[in-house]
Amino acid sequence: MNKQKYNSKNGQTLIFFLVVLVIMFFAVIWVFDLHNILNTKSKIRNAGDSAAVMGARWQGISLNIMGDLNIMNAIAIADGDYATVDAISNIQVRLAFTGPLIGFDAAQQAGKNNGIFNNDEFTDYVFEHANIVRNQYTQQSPTTGNMLFAEPYPGAWDEYATMLESIASRGIAVGIDNAKFYTDVSYNHYLLMYEFYDAIAGQNWCWFYFHAMNLLETYNSYRNWGPLPVFTSFIPVNSEILGLQLSRRNTRLGNIAGQTSEDYSLAEHGRSLVNVQNSTNSFNWYCYSSGAWNSWSSFDIQSGFPATGTVKPQYDYTGADSATRIETDMERLTPGQDGEIVTNGVTWTSAAKAFGYLNDTETPCLYDLVIPAFHDVRLIPLDTSSTPYGGAFDLEWQRHINDHLPKYILYGTSGLTPGCYFCNQLRTWERGSFRNDGIDWLDDPDNVQSCTAPSSGGNRGGGTTRGH
């Protein structure tokens, strides 16, 4: 009796011990998973940061060469050497594309040197894009007879497509998230706003209150949306990927900004530049595009977002920058439901920018003309970068815009694509009860009062869902 009791107790202890062991086993592999995730995150972070820096470094190098060529152009004009002027123009127009694409290639190397593997989806995307450049950009418009996008120089689209293919053929590990594809439509439509979908997913009625109150109150069917905006064709000056954000102006040098030759800090060339400034003939000059090179003060830095501290006057400018995206899968040891293997996606986005200055108080873009002035590269907060909401290499978002939305516009919920996060939000949006919940919530003045006004951060519509 006693012995049996002892045995039974022993058995219970054993079971307890086994349970603890099993728990510990899972705890250990869970911790290992956690460590693995953290380890992957640290690796991906280094890779992403160095890729962004590498992209920005090549932007800086390209800007400096562009500036050197502007100066050489002025000297050649002063010397009446028009063959050289012509040659410089030809080099500049190509440099605006090749310089950034070398940066795109170098960013891949930086990512791979830090242990990141090729991302097959990114690789396919760049190949697909090269194909679009080669076959669609060159198509003639039936109305004007011109190419969809006029070539910056003869044969440019074929050359550009070949460069993209050559980079993609070695595999793409790092996406450039602030790429501005010529076909990208502007974001003046709710269906093209990343925040619209996030507001639905998070039932963020305050977002609707500030940005889309009328839509929330009056919407009743997908037929309300009307057609999606179409892009207009133009003559590109900058590369789509890591573009330098420049404009080409055909004018007298003296018409560019209000500078004197001394302002260029180029005493040795002063005499010839003065002659060129006084010349009445127009030539091509590469200038900082006024839409892109602005003061950081358009961000609300005083309120501590998206960056803290003061900006030194000589560094107070936005403009060309480099934002990278790395997405990699990591297999978990902890089995998921029904014992299947679970993989977690780990994503890292970084941004960097080339910096320089003319002197202690003057930015390189104080005068419009590009001159060689970039000395350094720094990481910058992603929210101060030119990355659009979602990011150009967020392929799920791109697919949603390009493939899913046109069907939704035509067929409503039956046109939505299963499994797409954004289509799922539209399914929720289409439910009248969902929208009524929002209207009811916003009917309560206490609720409305709890909504904090968005900060005046540029044109980003306030706030952010990104953590860094």
Interface positions with Zn ion (CB under 5 A) = 400, 404, 417, 420, 422-423
Distance in Å, CB of 347 to Zn ion, minimum? 18
**What's the rounded Cα separation, in Å, for the pair 84 and 56?**
29
**What's the rounded Cα separation, in Å, for the pair 348 and 350?**
7
**What's the rounded Cα separation, in Å, for the pair 362 and 280?**
28
The nearer residue to Zn ion, 400 or 435, going by C-beta atoms, is 400
Distance in Å, CB of 400 to Zn ion, minimum? 4
**What's the rounded Cα separation, in Å, for the pair 279 and 284?**
13
The nearer residue to Zn ion, 118 or 417, going by C-beta atoms, is 417
Evaluate whether 467 touches 347 at the Cβ level (below 8 Å). no
Distance in Å, CB of 186 to Zn ion, minimum? 20
Sequence-separated (6 or more) residues with CB below 8 Å from residue 383:
299, 305, 306, 457, 460, 464, 466
Distance in Å, CB of 23 to Zn ion, minimum? 41
Distance in Å, CB of 195 to Zn ion, minimum? 16
**What's the rounded Cα separation, in Å, for the pair 91 and 88?**
5
Is the backbone peptide bond immediately before 306 cis, with ω within 30 degrees of 0?
yes
The nearer residue to Zn ion, 353 or 404, going by C-beta atoms, is 404
The nearer residue to Zn ion, 25 or 434, going by C-beta atoms, is 434
Distance in Å, CB of 174 to Zn ion, minimum? 25
**What's the rounded Cα separation, in Å, for the pair 327 and 313?**
36
Residue 334: Cβ within 10 Å count = 12
The nearer residue to Zn ion, 106 or 392, going by C-beta atoms, is 392
Residue 262: Cβ within 10 Å count = 11
Q: At what angle do helices 194-201 and 421-429 cross, to 10 degrees?
A: 70
- 89: tokens are 């123009």
The nearer residue to Zn ion, 85 or 423, going by C-beta atoms, is 423
Evaluate whether 54 touches 103 at the Cβ level (below 8 Å). yes
- The closest alpha carbon to 266, from 191, 196, 358, 335, belongs to 358
The nearer residue to Zn ion, 292 or 423, going by C-beta atoms, is 423
Distance in Å, CB of 185 to Zn ion, minimum? 16
The nearer residue to Zn ion, 222 or 348, going by C-beta atoms, is 222
**What's the rounded Cα separation, in Å, for the pair 197 and 203?**
10
Distance in Å, CB of 354 to Zn ion, minimum? 36
At 155, the amino acid letter reads G
Distance in Å, CB of 196 to Zn ion, minimum? 13
The nearer residue to Zn ion, 129 or 404, going by C-beta atoms, is 404
87 burial level (CB within 10 Å; 0-12, 13-18, 19+): middle
32 burial level (CB within 10 Å; 0-12, 13-18, 19+): middle
